[in-house]
């Protein structure tokens, strides 16, 4: 991942994440997958420079609606991780233990324990995230509600004054020299790509439009609001029964719930976690040994395999079903 997920600092319920920094490579994919599904997360990337570590941890643990603890050999010998585990049980809220190996934490024996993202995702539902308890009500920060609403009113007043001045200035030509040829900004302005994801070749997607026999590089806007540039070689897009114009606006709309993979490999399967709405995958070719990367697909229900891609290992306790196509 080229850019860290921002730690949540708002007033809505969120998940406090505890982990050892040495496990970042294993932990960050899970954090990113949760973030792509709009879960609010706070972890130590959000600590401001100069903040007092114990006080910061205490405040955010007290305010968290749930606690996710990544347990490993490294975390079990980390004083900071141990301190977080001790404080995690002081509030009445769910605590989940995500094991990165064979070790479990003795103080979390009565907590829900998971070993993969699919198991964790099954525990985190909307009631946990949207229970209506705000960060301020749970004690984050020192501001009182009265001060909060005073600040809101002051900001709103400043915005109204600035907006009025801007409209008056536009009508009276204040900005003519600074903004020659001023024109309305289109709502579908092209965003800057934040991350490059190479999806491989001959990827066939169903549900948008038809564009074949040429190289195509376009930006796709995901439901997580993260922009990724997906590189396709000889891509076939198909619109079922509709004629959809080949425009940027259509390219940046992605609501498919199934995808066909004509040339697949294990690396490509790992990127399926970025499709949180994906429910069905058709695999008609490729070289891979296991479907384990698909466990990161939160909503995946069915995987259809062409008989020529067998044998392939199906993970135990996979939340999706596997069907064979002739």
What average pLDDT does this structure show over 161-178? 66
The whole-number pLDDT of residue 120 equals 92
Q: Where are the domains of the chain?
A: 15-138, 195-325
What average pLDDT does this structure show over 172-192? 46
* Most confident of the ranges 47-56, 249-258, 276-285: 276-285
Q: End-to-end alpha-carbon separation of the chain, Å?
A: 38
Plot region of 132 (φ>0 → left; ψ -120 to 50 → alpha; else → beta): left
Helices (H), ranges, the chain: 24-36, 53-63, 73-76, 79-88, 117-123, 126-129, 135-138, 145-171, 248-251, 266-270
pLDDT single digits (tens) 257-313: 667 676 677 767 776 766 656 788 888 777 778 888 888 777 788 998 887 766 788
Specify whether the CB–CB gap between 117 and 30 falls below 8 A. Answer: yes
The whole-number pLDDT of residue 70 equals 95
Residue 118 has pLDDT above 80, yes or no: yes
pLDDT-derived band of residue 84, with 50, 70 and 90 as boundaries? confident
| Architecture in CATH of 15-138 | 3-Layer(aba) Sandwich (3.40)
What average pLDDT does this structure show over 181-198? 38
Radius of gyration of the chain (CA): 24
What average pLDDT does this structure show over 206-229? 33
Residue 238 has pLDDT above 70, yes or no: no
Tokens standing for 28?
């960050």
Class of residue 250 by CB neighbours under 10 A (exposed 0-12, middle 13-18, buried 19+): middle
Residue 175 has pLDDT above 80, yes or no: no
Number of neighbours of residue 317 by Cβ within 10 angstroms:
9
The average confidence (pLDDT) of the chain is: 67
Rounded Cα–Cα distance for residues 137 and 64 (Å): 11
The whole-number pLDDT of residue 171 equals 60
The whole-number pLDDT of residue 129 equals 63
* Most confident of the ranges 189-198, 225-234, 280-289: 280-289
pLDDT-derived band of residue 16, with 50, 70 and 90 as boundaries? very high
Comparing CA positions, the residue from 183, 189, 197, 209 lying closest to residue 275 is 197
Pairing mode, strands 227-232 and 216-221 = antiparallel
Residue 56: which residues within 8 A CB-CB, separation 6 or more? 47, 48
Rounded Cα–Cα distance for residues 199 and 50 (Å): 41
The whole-number pLDDT of residue 210 equals 32
* CA distances (Å), origin 136, targets 88, 92, 174: 18, 16, 42
What average pLDDT does this structure show over 78-97? 82
Higher-scoring residue by pLDDT: 43, 247: 43
Pairing mode, strands 112-114 and 195-198 = unpaired
Contacts of residues 79-87 at CB distance under 8 Å and 24 or more positions apart, as own/partner, are 80/53, 81/18, 81/19, 81/20, 83/54, 83/57, 84/16, 84/18, 84/57, 85/18, 87/57, 87/58, 87/61
What average pLDDT does this structure show over 65-75? 92
Higher-scoring residue by pLDDT: 233, 106: 106
The whole-number pLDDT of residue 30 equals 93
pLDDT single digits (tens) 133-150: 333 333 333 334 445 666
Rounded Cα–Cα distance for residues 271 and 199 (Å): 8
The whole-number pLDDT of residue 205 equals 41
The whole-number pLDDT of residue 99 equals 95
- What percent of the chain is predicted at pLDDT more than 90? 11
Residue 54: which residues within 8 A CB-CB, separation 6 or more? 83
pTM listed for this prediction: 0.40
The whole-number pLDDT of residue 168 equals 66
Q: Which residue in the block uniquely carries the two structure tokens 């995958």?
A: 281
Tokens standing for 310?
């067998």
Higher-scoring residue by pLDDT: 5, 111: 111
Work out the angle at residue 131's Cα, subtended by the Cα atoms of residues 125 and 14, and round it to the nearest 5 degrees. Answer: 75
Residue 230: which residues within 8 A CB-CB, separation 6 or more? 197, 199, 217, 218, 219, 220
What average pLDDT does this structure show over 230-259? 41
The whole-number pLDDT of residue 3 equals 60
């Amino acid at each position: 991942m080229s850019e860290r997920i921002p730690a949540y600092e708002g007033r809505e319920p969120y998940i406090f994440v505890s982990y050892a920094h040495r496990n970042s490579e294993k932990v960050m994919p899970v954090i990113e997958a949760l973030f792509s599904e709009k879960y609010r997360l706070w972890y130590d990337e959000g600590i401001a420079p100069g903040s007092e570590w114990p006080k910061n941890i205490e405040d955010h643990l007290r305010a968290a609606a749930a606690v996710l603890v990544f347990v490993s050999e490294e975390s079990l010998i980390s004083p900071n991780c141990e301190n977080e585990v001790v404080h995690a049980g002081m509030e009445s809220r769910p605590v989940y233990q995500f094991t990165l190996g064979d070790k479990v934490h003795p103080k979390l024996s009565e907590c829900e324990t998971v070993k993969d993202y699919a198991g964790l995702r099954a525990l985190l539902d909307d009631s946990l995230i949207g229970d209506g308890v705000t960060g301020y009500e749970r004690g984050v920060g020192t501001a009182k509600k009265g001060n909060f609403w005073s600040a809101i009113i002051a900001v709103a007043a400043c915005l109204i004054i600035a907006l009025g001045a801007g409209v008056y200035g536009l009508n009276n030509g204040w900005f003519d020299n600074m903004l020659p040829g001023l024109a309305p900004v289109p709502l579908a302005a092209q965003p800057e790509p934040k991350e490059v994801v190479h999806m491989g070749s001959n990827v066939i997607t169903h549900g948008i439009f038809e564009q074949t026999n040429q190289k195509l590089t376009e930006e796709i806007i995901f439901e997580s609001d993260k922009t990724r540039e997906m590189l396709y070689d000889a891509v076939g897009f198909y619109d079922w029964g509709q004629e959809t114009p080949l425009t940027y606006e259509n390219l940046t709309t992605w609501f498919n719930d199934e995808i066909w993979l004509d040339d697949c490999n294990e690396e490509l399967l790992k990127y399926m976690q970025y499709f949180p709405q994906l429910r069905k995958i058709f695999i008609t070719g490729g070289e891979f040994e296991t479907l384990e990367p698909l466990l990161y697909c939160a909503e995946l229900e069915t995987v259809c395999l062409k008989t020529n891609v067998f044998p392939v290992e199906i993970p135990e306790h996979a939340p999706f079903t596997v069907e064979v196509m002739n």
